[in-house]
Amino acid sequence: MSRSANAAIKGYFYQFDNTILKLLELNNSDAKVIIENIEDIDVSEADEYTAIQCKYYEGTEYNHSLIAPTIRYMLKDYYERLRNKKDFINYKLYGFYKKGHEKLKLPLTLEYLKENFLTFSKDKKQYIYHEELGINDTDLIEFIDKICLDINANGFDTQIKKIYSKIMDIFKCTCLETQIYYYNNALKCIKDLSVNKNVDDRSISKKDFLSIINKRELLFNIWFKHFKTEKEFYQKINSEYFTPQFNICSCERFFLIEVNPIEYSRIDLKEIIYFISKKWADISQRKSDTYCPYVYIHNIHENELIDLKKNMYDEGLEFNDGFPFQGADFEFKKILQKATYNNQLKIKFLNKIDYIKQVLDSIKNTKEIYQFFFESPFYNLDNKNIKHIKIQISNIKNIKEII
């Protein structure tokens, strides 16, 4: 990816992060943020409305020409409100620049505004913007009172640390939970809002935002991949769920795996199943609480599933799929058979998605579900007593990296 493309992506992230931070910092739970309305971010709180232009120029020196078009756009909005007798709002330009901050002299004066931001040349012609609008000095002074220029914005890393701090304070969670749950959900929420065509659908209150991000599920999305590499993110998930101290109990674990029919590889899928069996099956002769995991494979063709199981059976894998004989109906009591040293059961296959709930409802022990999906979760369960972790992947090989 080119440097310019990386800079553009980082700029998007910076704006998304600033939106997240604005929502977290709102004092009123009913206060709202609107994305891409008058400016990049509009904040509506109590009787105040502020339109915020957010810019990130990591490698650029500050010059008046960088912010002048934005100031002229804000002035035009102010003048139209003045002319049409509409409610006035506040304006803020929030930007990060590599250097050159000393060039901007604050507070703004009338002459400084006119000379540096409203007078400009284009195509060898000079323009005096305030004269073209027909706005007088009195109104320009009023406009100055309504505009805030901040070119000493937080850097990229500083801003995200503030987000983490606010999230940990609000939800009383760890830094790891902040990153893999709340920030990831927040980023997806803002990204999804930003692409809506209707402005009302790009608006969200602090209360609704906190409700959306307060979900203990992983929604790894393509935007997050530009912020953290897949490897970094999967390492965090592994440390949260799949390190040895989290996997010593004999609870009933369900692994729901989506495959891509176009890129399907039986070798890769088998490797993952064997790995799951090795790590989460314990049928030691010395133990009384023996167990093995359940596996459901989503989007696999019925005939391929049969061939896969036949292949693994020929290789010596002992498994149970809930069918006592050919042509029989699925019997959840059959698949609930305990894995022991004598029967050598290492895996339990659930052939259809409908079987998952039947089995879950029949199990009295602690249950955990780990779902690996590509675009969106394919299995949803309305039971808060069952841990259900949803992990987005780009390739089924990612599963081994995670677990």
Q: Tell me the mean pLDDT per 10 residues along the chain, length 403.
A: 59 91 96 92 93 92 96 97 95 95 96 96 92 96 97 94 96 86 89 92 96 75 58 78 66 94 93 94 86 95 94 93 84 86 92 93 90 90 85 87 86
Return d(Cα 382, Cα 388) in angstroms, integer. Answer: 10
Return d(Cα 290, Cα 162) in angstroms, integer. Answer: 46
pLDDT recorded at residue 223: 52
48 pairs with which residues across the strands? 45
pLDDT recorded at residue 219: 57
pLDDT recorded at residue 47: 86
In sign, the C-alpha dihedral spanning 160, 162, 163, 168 is positive
Kindly report the CA angle at 233 between 394 and 247, in degrees rounded to 5? 100
Q: Which uninterrupted H or E stretch holds 34? A: strand 32-35
pLDDT recorded at residue 3: 44
List the one residue out of 403, 200, 375 whose CA is nearest residue 298: 375
203 pairs with which residues across the strands? 34
299: left (phi over 0), alpha (psi -120 to 50) or beta: left
Return d(Cα 241, Cα 38) in angstroms, integer. Answer: 43
**How many whole angstroms from its chain centre is CA 374?**
14
The residue type found at 280 is: W
Omega before 107 within 30 of 0, i.e. cis: yes
Instruction: State if pTM tops 0.75.
Output: no
